[in-house]
Chains A and B, each alone.
Chain A
Amino acid sequence: MTELTARRAFWRGYLDCAPFILIVIPYSMLFGVVARDAGLDLFQTMSMTILVIAGAAQFTALALLQDNAPVFIALLTALAVNLRMAMYSAALVPHIGHARFSVRALMAYLMVDQAFAVCVKTYEERPDMQPAAKVAYYFGCMMLICPFWYGFTFVGAYVGQAIPASLSLDFALPICFIALTGPLLRSVPHYVAALVSGVAILCFAWVPWNLGIMVAATLAMISGAQTELYLRRRAAKGAA
């Protein structure tokens, strides 16, 4: 494989994340529409999208406020939805943790599911990638998604009820996460982790405040890691 310069890594990331535009456009428009329906003005809608830049949490917070939930309950529930990103943050440290403090802060602000999945897959497929190229690749991924997220939230908020409910765009969200998962399933431990995650979330659906996701994810990570260790031991025994 040819070595990636930082500049080429940036554009590679940009192109690798391009398919997610298909999801980001309807999803961000939907947020714009829902926010206006809930009675937010254009400025409030855009402030939330720019300050928080996390779709699922924004929808959650808004829905709870509309239901007249106390502000701190809406806040805690939405933050729980975002807790998964602490795991992304940790998983990214070995790859881009070397960057300057201010650069890391900017990377943290821009961290979204799609770009995380694409980055991690690329980093693992190309262990020869230089640290600077990894950082450039990360920004390439985010630089495509972020403007679309802002832009189409604005379009949705401005145009209003342009998306008919009969389109069932709600289903685009699980499809997006399935599409993110497929390419990550590269080995037996990955399959085990994904399976444990899916089963565990159904068992722990009763856990309040969306914290079931954290329980399921923790169990799944342990399962994946243990499967990997088991396979390594078995391989070592076979070799000996």
Chain B
Amino acid sequence: MISDLDFWVLTILLGIGTFLIRFSFLGIFGGKKMPEWALLHLRYVGVAVFPAIFTPLVVWPPATEGQIDPIRLTAALAALLVGLRVNVIFSIIAGMGTFYALRFFF
């Protein structure tokens, strides 16, 4: 059971902290020009962050207690390939579709 005090302290501080993280650069640098070297690196933020989030979830899924699961690996690969060739929505459909189809058959 989570105590009310714990919950509210956590939620309010997490709300403020999360906002400050999101606002950080937009707040400070808004309207100013960023140096060239920063812009060079910032072009890669998306491709640098997202694989770091999904790779462990695909390779060591919490639902299998970290055991490698060939079905999840295949489904992830399907989502990636379709995402490269087609678009976001078909990537999601291909990934989840492959996942459910393989689970149904095996």
Contacts and interface: CB of A to CB of B under 8 A. Distances in A.
Nearest to B20: A108
B76 A221 contact: no
Contact of A39 (B2, B11, B56): B2
A86 B21 contact: yes
A168 interface: yes
Given A171-B63, A178-B83, A180-B50, A96 B96 contact: no
A89 interface: yes
A75 B10 contact: yes
Interface string B19-42: 101111111011110100111111
Interface in B39-57: 39-57
Interface string A171-212: 111111111111111000110011111101110010000001
Contacts of A93: 25-26, 29-30, 32, 34
A8 interface: no
| Main secondary structure on A side of the interface with B | helix
A221 B44 contact: yes
A221 B45 contact: yes
Contact of B21 (A74, A82, A221): A82
Nearest to B6: A71
A85 B48 contact: no
A221 B48 contact: yes
B45 A91 contact: yes
B55 to A, nearest CB: 4
B103 to A, nearest CB: 8
Contacts of A38: 2
B36 to A, nearest CB: 11
Contact of A40 (B7, B23, B57, B61): B7
Given A104-B26, A185-B84, A90 B48 contact: no
B101 interface: no
16 contacts: A61-B10, A71-B6, A74-B10, A82-B21, A90-B38, A93-B25, A93-B29, A93-B30, A104-B27, A174-B72, A175-B96, A178-B83, A182-B80, A194-B50, A198-B55, A225-B43
